[in-house]
Structure 1
Amino acid sequence: MIRLLMTLLMLTSVGAFASNKEDGSHVQPDNYYPRVKIITSMGDIVVELDRRRAPITVNNFLRYVDKQAFNGTIFHRVMPGFVVQGGGYTTDFKEKSKFPAIFNESGNGLKNELHTIAMARQNDPHTANRQFFFNVNDNSSLDPGREWGYAVFGMIVEGSDVVDAMSEVETEYSIKLNAPNVPVEPITIEKVELLPPF
């Protein structure tokens, strides 16, 4: 009887573990440096993600890619010499659904340097979910110190000129979004696709 109970318990545990595999870790699980192509209305950007240094953040990003959840979103915050941020809103400024917030991996050794990709968040350090940004400068103020920083999880390997061009577009205050620094002409993420491993 005890053996039967132990077997049932093990099967239940394995089933629970298997059902939790939609966290992004199932996407190219043996690839520590997956690459994605972000196809935008201004051109293509290829980003190499660093799963070795930022496994939680990369897996989280990949599950949005896997669900095609970035497709049709916009870069809604553009600050020249600072950041280009997006991934959270549709072209009519409706907020997209999101997975639960993730642990902040800003202490992973990766810095908010020019042409890196990092997670956006609220003031609380562990509130990142789907919005990300590209650094268009060396932004050491976003690195951890006495306070939590912003988790870097990869870098641009192709299309840095596209992101630089994005950082220079005309912006305005958006009444719909109730925020400044919104591009006058929307910059759309048409599609994000996972590239095959090397």
Structure 2
Amino acid sequence: MRHAAAPAAAQPKYAPPPAIQLQDTEHVVLTTTEGEIVLELDGKHAPITTLNFLRYAQSKRLDGILFYRAMHLPWGDPPSGLIQAGTQGDPRRLLPPIAHEPTTVTGVHHKAGAISMARYAPGTATGDFSILLSDMDGLDANPKAESEDDRQGYAAFGHVVKGMDVVRRIFDAPLDPNKGDGVMKGQMLSVPVKIVTARRWEGPWEAPVSAPTPAAAPAPAP
């Protein structure tokens, strides 16, 4: 059975990813329906992953995506884990997968507030990412692990510098016990939180002054 392509008129027109002169430190502002999250990305030590994220942001492919998952760990007070957002495999938004940058190479580790790429096998990361509420060293590369997947770990490439309160609100939002497949079942937000815009911060970093964020409305699927 073949899947017919959607009519051209129905396809979002995303700008081609721009040429970017990568800085050692980059900032991206995620404006969500719950407030603003500012990310500091390590272009010096994780250049492939940082550049990939900037290309998604600058071509507006992250505008309208959702924080859709909150993984709660069975320990910690307050409870900790991670939240996840991204393109969820939408072919209209996707850029080619990127080479994997393990923590043993970058030195950027999975500590509280870190941003890390979601993936299947190493080298398959595209446009989904997680933000950590707590240290999760098990996501780091472990050369002594039995499986190749664990030996490679995940690619952390920056951390939150503003808006961890927003991250916590998203994490604490109600979950739907029936949504999700496999290990993700019961980890999906009942009402996903929309990323309205994702933008590179141009120039030296200074905390932006934002207008009050309106009350969140239910976010439609992209």
Q: 1:109 aligns with which of 99, 107, 110?
A: 107
Q: Which has the higher helix share?
A: 1
Corresponding position of 1:157:
161
Cα offset, 1:197, TM superposition: 1.7
Deviation at 1:94, TM superposition (A): 5.8
Contact 2:22/2:43 (8 A) holds in 1:
no
Alignment of 1:54 onto 2:53: no
Identity %, equivalent residues: 29
**Counterpart AA for 1:121:** R
Write out aligned runs for 1:25-174 (5 A): 26-27=19-20, 29=21, 31-80=23-72, 81-89=80-88, 97-106=93-102, 107=104, 108-122=106-120, 124-146=121-143, 147-173=151-177
Give distance in 2, aligned partners of 1:103 and 1:85: 20
Tell me which amino acid in the other structure corresponds to 1:186: P
Distance in 1 of aligned mates of 2:61 and 2:22: 23
Give the CA deviation at 1:31.
2.1
Distance 2:22 2:99 in 1: 22
Taking structure 1 as reference, are residues 116 and 188 closer, same or farther at Cα in structure 2, changes over 3 Å only? same
Task: Find the aligned partners of 1:160 and 1:152 in 2 and give their Cα distance.
Answer: 17
Task: Normalising by structure 1, report the TM-score.
Answer: 0.79
Q: State the alpha-carbon separation in 2 of the partners of residues 193 and 119 from structure 1.
A: 18
For 1:121 and 1:99, the matched residues in 2 are separated by 14
In structure 1, what residue type is equivalent to 2:198? Answer: V
Partner letter of residue 84 of structure 2? Q
Q: Who wins on radius of gyration, i.e. which is larger?
A: 1
**CA 1:94–1:54: 2 relative to 1, 3 Å:** closer
Shift of 1:87: 1.3
1:2-27 deviation line (CA, Å, top 9, x unaligned): xxxxxxxxxxxxxxxxxxxx766x32
Tell me what 1:17 maps to: none
Query: How far did residue 174 of structure 1 move?
Result: 5.2
Unaligned runs of 5+ in 1: 1-21
Q: Structure 1 residues 33 and 73 mapped into 2: Cα distance closer, same or farther (>3 Å)?
A: same
Aligned counterparts of 1:84 and 1:96: Cα–Cα separation in 2: 23
Distance 1:38 1:30 in 2: 19
**Once the 2 structures are TM-superposed, how far is the Cα of residue 140 of structure 1 from its aligned partner?**
0.3
Distance 1:76 1:104 in 2: 24
* Residue segments in structure 2 that go unaligned for 5+ positions in a row: 1-15, 73-79, 144-150, 205-222
Length, aligned pairs only: 170
Tell me the amino acid that sits aligned with residue 88 of structure 1. Answer: T
